[in-house]
Chain A
Amino acid sequence: MVDVLPTPIEIFIGALLLGTGTILFAYLRARRTIQNLAKELELARERQREDERELTQRSALDSLKDEFVSTVSHELRTPLTSIRGALGLLSSGVLGTVDAKAQNLLRIALTNTDRLVRLINDILDLERMDSGRSVLQIRRCSLPELIHQATETMSAMADAAEIRLTVAANASLVLPSVFFDGDSDRILQVLTNLLSNAIKFSPGGSTVTIEVETPPEALIFRICDQGRGIPEDQLETIFERFKQVEYSDSRHRGGTGLGLAICRSIVQQHGGTIWAQRNTVQGVSICVRLPRMQRTYDAAVAPESEGVEDRSSVSDHVGYSPLDGQRPFLTETGKILHQS
């Protein structure tokens, strides 16, 4: 690409003789010939054509990638539907009783099928967030309401693991007044992900506590467990994809290794930060700091009126069954469609 052409300049210097003295004057004049202007115009047009070509190519690549992801997702889900369905029916006993050993094998197959479904969901979720196609629906959110929803959602999992879920006493005092601008579905996803992790890595009989702080212009919530903790040198890397404290965690704990990476993406989309810190006595706290107000609307933030969001996520239920959540969404005609 060539820069703008050099412009010739004319310099005029003159003197005006008057009875009282002499006035000297000078002026500059740019000489832009018609040929120069035509060349500059042609250059500008060429630059515009290049930009348009680049935009078209990028758009075509995005479409190809979307199509690829959509196809892969569909092709993986189709056989999984038969497998999951057959295993679910057999293990439920609705088709007849199964002996204990067979039942255990069915449970193993079912658990791992659900894990595979979660993994597909999580990969799709991350891919969408990374591509900037995950649009936040920013509105005023109530943190107490979201915490209530998250604890209610995770209570069955906590009960099964004999873990007590609780909100810290001092948090209860500030909670009623804690509002912020955010995407409630996504923050709920963060909360349930973090609670799910905390429950998974806590010993039976222990407590998982939600703490809340409200510094000016921000809010901080922490999910504190009494589990085995995280080594100092892994406090940052656990937010990376497929990074777990122990390699076997994904097999033994049923996670995908993507939950914290998804949380980090969501929090960062909100302009916030997420980090892990070791507790003084035992366990670890995952802390999230969010700005109270969204001052800027960038490409990843859409106004509330945008309608049905570009949200293919079905992993909003990470940490428990990937199949049991039903999130209704509204059509333009107001009908409720159910996402399960």
Chain B
Amino acid sequence: MNPAVPVIQIEGLCKDFGGLRAIDDLSFEVRSREIVGVVGPNGAGKSVLVNLITGFYRATVGAIRFMGTDITRLPRHRISRLGVARTFQNIRLFNRMTVLENVLVANKLHGTAPFASLLAVRRQQREVAAAMDLLTLMRLADRADQMAGTLPYGDARRLEIARALAGTPKLLILDEPAAGMNEEETAELIEDVRSTRSLLEAIILIEHDMTLIRELSDRLVAMDYGRKMAEGTTEAVFANPVFLKAYLGLEADNA
């Protein structure tokens, strides 16, 4: 893998919803081995950005390149097959399937050739072993046979990460993974995300929780009203007065 090619390269990206410009001339890069945090107040366009990269929305103007390939207009399953995985802000598991099945179904071996998998009934041990390894990594192995819909909140979050990893992606996009978590759970999540780092080329982290952002991000992209407000190393952005004023506001002194 050529480290000179950015994992994600976003150029002049705009997204309009009717008269509203949700993303306005956004450009940034995510390089190999990086965790890039995307921060900003509610409505800044962070989730729209995730949906644009993963093919859930179509960009109005601009380009998104993944490892040098233009993915701006690709359907979402093609983007996924190239190696982009995501989690969802409002957890979206297959609730009526077991924890193990949720991870197995994300295995690209069958997902990319669904009807050929009819003949793969007897050759599932390796996929099951790989899925169990991921569940062990996310501390879910002893819940493997439980229905995903019955998982407590923190476990459901981790299962989404395990499922995203099961497709052996190069880039993982975490959309507010700490939403609704208490401090203790957030601390665990930080460790869990760290443990996935060796499996991935890069991570994009959308988050409100400043602890998580500070602990994990190498660089930050701060957004407001769909525009890039600040970009740089985590320390530099946290010292940027524009960012402190716009995003943290009254919290500026304790952040």
Partners in one complex: no
Write the residues of chain B forming the contact surface with A, with a CB cutoff of 8 angstroms: none
